[in-house]
Structure 1
């Protein structure tokens, strides 16, 4: 597997970066186009690097000062058909699946820390689905709400930021998460109040025994255990670009379902369920943060071992 690099390079850095790439056995297809870059003025350089070595090569390019004076973009190559691709792979010990492009991961962490209308829209819709699941005691709708909810992106982003010591970025991500849940829970509680005043829903619908959804507001030791496992799996999936595994993470933790239950309990005033839902939400978020930060730390510490 290869990662394609595309750079716009000022004239005085061009030969340095060219030499860096050409002299590295893990890099191939080095192309230098002199004088074609208009902004910044200089050369355009492209190359393919073994995915296992991509972070090392990108770090070396970054150390030249290129990000401050030019541009560096990189992306995975979906397919390739040439012998040199195998050669650079052999020159970079390790497995491509174990490689992490930390630059891309940190960029995603920054994106996850920014508030957006789309994020809030998905969280509102997911919480409404969770509230309906509570009212109808539907396990299927609980799963649907888990999948729709976008909150894990903020949690994973905060884990990466904490793992790298980017405290401000971590704070921004967690603040976005908390603010989003507060706003969404308040909005869904308001909708539930209107539904309650109109007789569309009743307090009994929420407080009655719910064999399929009662776990939402009953945290126990397994809630924290599941959150730990899901947090580790989610951050591992995010850092290694295994998007298929993320679906399993989404349907493992009850953050959004707890938020939906909390909104209903606030609107219909069910104190026990309020306390239970808050506890469930806190337990899940705490467990995922602990496991996620630990996973990032282990990936960084064990990376030289993996490549040995």
Structure 2
């Protein structure tokens, strides 16, 4: 996979940046556009390189102070037809699909983990769908609630924050979860409290449901599924395969468990509420732990087989 870096730097730094980029293993092309940047004033350097080499080059550019004096942007072209690009991919160690660009992962998970009105809206709607599925004994509605739930973003961000020791990212993700789930559960509880006197469902509805019993009966497989989902979810983030996230969403019982806690508390089913709360906790912990383990594994691989650099025609 070929990636393009656009580097904006002051003219006094562009020579060093061009030299650094040209000597990087896995670089196919380096283009310098003197004076192309108006704000801030400076030069623009365009680099085509294998995805496997991006992390090393970005680290070296950060050491030079490029982000403070200019900028680095990373994009993936739809199509690159070039023999040099093919040779660069072959020369770069590892596989592009396995390459981790840590800044990209941090920023992507950070954007998905902020406490925003849209995040709250999706979580409230997902929990309401789950509550409806619970009182109507409808697995389809519960699966729909799983697909709508936005909770994986903050969970992935927590994993990244733990591994990279990014306190601000972790605090933002914790805030989104710590506010989002109580608000969503409170809304579901209010809806359930209003529905009983309106005759939308009987007060003993939880004693009749059979298809949703798995929600308040956590067991070893609850944690196993959460671990598998967390692993698959983080792999999809790293490899940028967003389609796999849908499978992750509909395999974990976070939102359904939150909805069940809300309904069970309103109906006085405290034992089932406690079981659902434990289910929720197991899923949250399992997802974060598994996602963090994936990140640690990839970090170890990169340290053992880092992308090399070329200096004077010699690989160091």
TM norm structure 1: 0.95
Q: Which residue of 2 aligns with 1:297?
A: 296
Mapped to 1, the partners of 2:239 and 2:25 lie a distance apart of: 23
Mapped to 2, the partners of 1:25 and 1:163 lie a distance apart of: 27
Q: How does 1:105-124 map to 2 (within 5 A)?
A: 105-124=105-124
Asked if the contact 2:3/2:75 (under 8 Å) is kept, the reply is: yes
Asked if the contact 1:26/1:89 (under 8 Å) is kept, the reply is: yes
Equivalent residue of 2:32, what SS? strand
1:82, CA displacement in angstroms? 1.1
Q: Which residue of 1 aligns with 2:51?
A: 51
Q: Structure 1: where are the runs of 5+ without partners?
A: none
Q: Which residue of 1 aligns with 2:11?
A: 11
Q: Which residue of 2 aligns with 1:218?
A: 217
1:17, CA displacement in angstroms? 0.4
Asked if the contact 1:262/1:273 (under 8 Å) is kept, the reply is: yes
Q: Which residue of 2 aligns with 1:195?
A: 195
Mapped to 2, the partners of 1:95 and 1:36 lie a distance apart of: 33
Equivalent residue of 2:196, what SS? helix
1:267 aligns with 2:266: yes
1:268, CA displacement in angstroms? 2.0
Mapped to 2, the partners of 1:30 and 1:263 lie a distance apart of: 58
Mapped to 1, the partners of 2:252 and 2:103 lie a distance apart of: 28
Deviations 1:37-65 (A, max 9, x none): 11111011111110111111111111110
Asked if the contact 1:202/1:268 (under 8 Å) is kept, the reply is: no
Mapped to 2, the partners of 1:100 and 1:141 lie a distance apart of: 36
How many residues align? The count is 307
1:235 aligns with 2:234: yes
Q: How does 1:87-236 map to 2 (within 5 A)?
A: 87-208=87-208, 210-236=209-235
Mapped to 1, the partners of 2:210 and 2:265 lie a distance apart of: 21
Asked if the contact 2:149/2:255 (under 8 Å) is kept, the reply is: yes
Equivalent residue of 1:203, what SS? coil
1:168, CA displacement in angstroms? 3.4
TM norm structure 2: 0.93
Deviations 1:61-92 (A, max 9, x none): 11110101111110122221111111110110
Mapped to 2, the partners of 1:119 and 1:294 lie a distance apart of: 26
Asked if the contact 2:4/2:75 (under 8 Å) is kept, the reply is: yes
Equivalent residue of 2:80, what SS? coil
1:305, CA displacement in angstroms? 4.1
1:5, CA displacement in angstroms? 0.6
* 288-297 or 104-113, which deviates more: 104-113
Asked if the contact 2:261/2:276 (under 8 Å) is kept, the reply is: yes
